[in-house]
Amino acid sequence: MVGVCGFLLQNDRTLPHERQMQLASLFYRTVFQLSKAQPPLKGWREKLAAAGIPHALLKGAVLQALYPVPELRLCGDADFFVPPAFLPQLKALLSTEDVRLLHEDETVIYIYAAPLHLEFHTTLLPDAATDSPALAAYFGDAAAHMTGDALCRDFDPEFHFVYLLSHQMRHFQTDCAGIRTFMDLAVFLQHFPDAASESRLRETGLFDYAAGALALTAHWFGVPSPFSVTVSDADADAVAAYILSVGLFARKQNTAAAKVEKQMHSAFPRLRTLWRALFPTREDLEKDARYGALAKKCLPAAYTKRFFTALFTRRGHMRDTARNIVTAADDAKERVRMQKLLHLNGGNAHEG
């Protein structure tokens, strides 16, 4: 935990004040959320067991208990795995409960059961087509890796660790993983130093990525990696800067700005109506029977203003378009560079 706090403190000075306040708010909010969330989650495990449905928790609900200070691990929702053979019993149970269905497809049922958001997964590879056949086969046999009680089950550490690595890798291939996912790996390794063997990771095609990710985890949090792969200070700092700029903690949620944006959006129709009245186009005038009379009353200044407004708007659009193209290219290059550092398409980490 010293490493986790140290990393946040080291980067605290470089974060904008607003981001610091968001992180502080996040921490104190989770203190209250944890006390409210635990009893209902236990109750849901009891309901599933009473209905004869074997299940196991994944990700946050499991990791939270491993943290020395559980409040440091926010759980947006609780993830359950239920073997697909028990899907009819699960649906029957949910139909009798006071819950709100948020999403359902062939892989997951997502509900809100106040005060919890719950995800029931019947498969752990919703996008199996993008994964290696070996990894798809490994996760496809998830029920075989459940241990413990006959109904309230757990996944064995190796399976859960491989799942965490796969989940983090998928985030880097799409949007961006947050620094919290590296904290999760560090805390998991503290409890299970030999969570995944090199042979298992090579078999599932995850070894190259895992070696880079765990090298970063060791670099930042001081939790030894089981593999002899290291990462340079420069590369680690580059990944940290990338995560803090586009990762989990960098996603701005400003309700005040959203409120103003909504107000402006509702005002736009009125502004457009006023604009058309003040500066009518020739097409608008030709639709009016009084066109001849109105044309004499239209001041040259109005059309002059329309000309320059249109001119500078076009210039502005051209500049914005060019700027967006440059930014998109830079973002793409940065993303590729980060993926290379993490062995997603080649790598710069090296054997130590």
* DSSP H or E stretch at residue 7: helix 2-12
Give me the pLDDT at residue 115, please. Answer: 78
Domain termination site, one of 250, 270, 290: 250
* End-to-end Cα spacing for the chain: 25
Q: Is 281 left (phi over 0), alpha (psi -120 to 50) or beta?
A: beta
Same domain, 164 and 231: yes
Total domains in the chain come to: 2
Listed range (38-42, 151-155, 178-182, 347-351) with the worst mean pLDDT: 347-351
Helix axes 87-95, 17-50, angle to 10 degrees: 100
CB burial string 114-146: b at 16+ within 10 A, e below: eebbbbbbbbbbeebeebeeebbebbeebbebb
Same domain, 60 and 194: yes
Q: Which residue carries 């919290």 as its tokens?
A: 180
Domain termination site, one of 250, 266, 282: 250
Give me the pLDDT at residue 104, please. Answer: 87
Ranked by mean pLDDT, which of 19-28, 130-139, 212-221, 243-252 comes out on top?
A: 212-221
Which three-class secondary structure state does DSSP give residue 205?
A: coil
Give me the pLDDT at residue 82, please. Answer: 94
The stretch 113-120 carries a mean pLDDT of: 86
Give me the pLDDT at residue 163, please. Answer: 92
* DSSP H or E stretch at residue 317: helix 300-341
Same domain, 244 and 259: no
Same domain, 24 and 80: yes
Q: Which residue has the higher pLDDT, 23 or 97?
A: 97
What the block records as the tokens of 167 is 């989940």
Same domain, 171 and 78: yes
Same domain, 108 and 24: yes
Q: Is 189 left (phi over 0), alpha (psi -120 to 50) or beta?
A: alpha
* Average pLDDT, rounded, for the chain: 71
Domain termination site, one of 223, 250, 277: 250
Is 108 domain-assigned? yes
Cβ neighbours for 301, distance < 8 A, ≥ 6 positions apart: none
Same domain, 214 and 152: yes
Asked whether residue 312 carries a pLDDT value surpassing 60, the answer given is no
Percent of the chain at pLDDT above 70?
52
Same domain, 51 and 136: yes
Is 196 domain-assigned? yes
CA angle, 341 then 192 then 239, to 5°: 20
Ranked by mean pLDDT, which of 64-68, 239-243, 346-350 comes out on top?
A: 64-68
Is 346 domain-assigned? no
The pLDDT confidence band at residue 252, using thresholds 50, 70 and 90, is very low
Q: Which residue has the higher pLDDT, 310 or 120?
A: 120
What the block records as the tokens of 8 is 């946040």
The pLDDT confidence band at residue 153, using thresholds 50, 70 and 90, is very high
Ranked by mean pLDDT, which of 20-24, 179-183, 223-227, 341-345 comes out on top?
A: 223-227
Is 318 domain-assigned? yes
Asked whether residue 261 carries a pLDDT value surpassing 50, the answer given is no
User: What pLDDT, in 10s, does the model give residues 49-69?
Assistant: 999 999 999 988 888 888 776
Same domain, 165 and 100: yes
The stretch 267-295 carries a mean pLDDT of: 56
Give me the pLDDT at residue 237, please. Answer: 76
User: What pLDDT, in 10s, does the model give residues 74-110?
Assistant: 677 889 999 999 999 999 999 999 899 998 888 899 9
Asked whether residue 175 carries a pLDDT value surpassing 70, the answer given is no
Give me the pLDDT at residue 10, please. Answer: 47
Instruction: Let me know: does 61 contact 184? Beta carbons within 8 Å.
Output: no
The pLDDT confidence band at residue 186, using thresholds 50, 70 and 90, is confident
Is 348 domain-assigned? no
Handedness of CA 332, 182, 12, 233 (dihedral sign): negative
Give me the pLDDT at residue 25, please. Answer: 54
Is 214 domain-assigned? yes
The stretch 108-130 carries a mean pLDDT of: 80
Same domain, 225 and 281: no
Same domain, 61 and 82: yes
User: What pLDDT, in 10s, does the model give residues 219-233?
Assistant: 887 888 888 888 887
Task: Give the integer Cα–Cα distance in Å for 160 and 138.
Answer: 12
Same domain, 92 and 221: yes
Task: Give the integer Cα–Cα distance in Å for 151 and 46.
Answer: 9
Give me the pLDDT at residue 330, please. Answer: 66
Q: What CATH code is carried by the domain that includes residue 155?
A: 3.30.460.40
Helix axes 233-246, 179-191, angle to 10 degrees: 120
Give me the pLDDT at residue 303, please. Answer: 46
Q: Which domain holds residue 37?
A: 2-250
Nearest to 161 by CA among 114, 112, 196, 123: 196
Is 45 domain-assigned? yes
Give me the pLDDT at residue 6, please. Answer: 41
Q: Which residue has the higher pLDDT, 203 or 6?
A: 203
Is 27 domain-assigned? yes
Asked whether residue 30 carries a pLDDT value surpassing 60, the answer given is no
